[in-house]
Amino acid sequence: MLEIKKNDAVVVLAGKDKGKRGKVLSLSREKGRVFVEGINKIKKHAKPSKSFPEGGIIEKEGSLSISNVMLVCQHCDKGVRYRSTMTEDGRKVRTCVHCGNVL
């Protein structure tokens, strides 16, 4: 089974950002956590640093459980289940179970 990857478009299935969409920024398969652009923003206190000389409060994405996001099919325009399919040249791709679109 092919999994969610960096830069995938996903929709959030649970929590305060339920229904929102974003792009996968990074993920940890070992921990089962995923960071999605603009989702689950948390405020953090930052000490002044070289890149952030003022210090203060910064907003940052918090991680979500991978099981709480679903891959978005652009064709179906919603979160979908997918299957892995072998292409004619032997590559594994993820295809939408509804429309067959390669995700």
Binding residues vs Zn ion (CB under 5 A): 73, 75-76, 96, 98-99, 101
Let me know: does 21 contact 11? Beta carbons within 8 Å: yes
**Closest distance of CB 103 from Zn ion, Å:** 8
**Closest distance of CB 13 from Zn ion, Å:** 17
What is the DSSP-derived secondary structure letter of residue 102? B
62 or 101: CB nearest Zn ion: 101
12 or 96: CB nearest Zn ion: 96
**Closest distance of CB 77 from Zn ion, Å:** 8
23 or 75: CB nearest Zn ion: 75
Three-state SS across 2-46? CCCCCCCEEEECCCCCCCCEEEEEEEECCCCEEEECCCCEEEEEE
Let me know: does 61 contact 15? Beta carbons within 8 Å: no
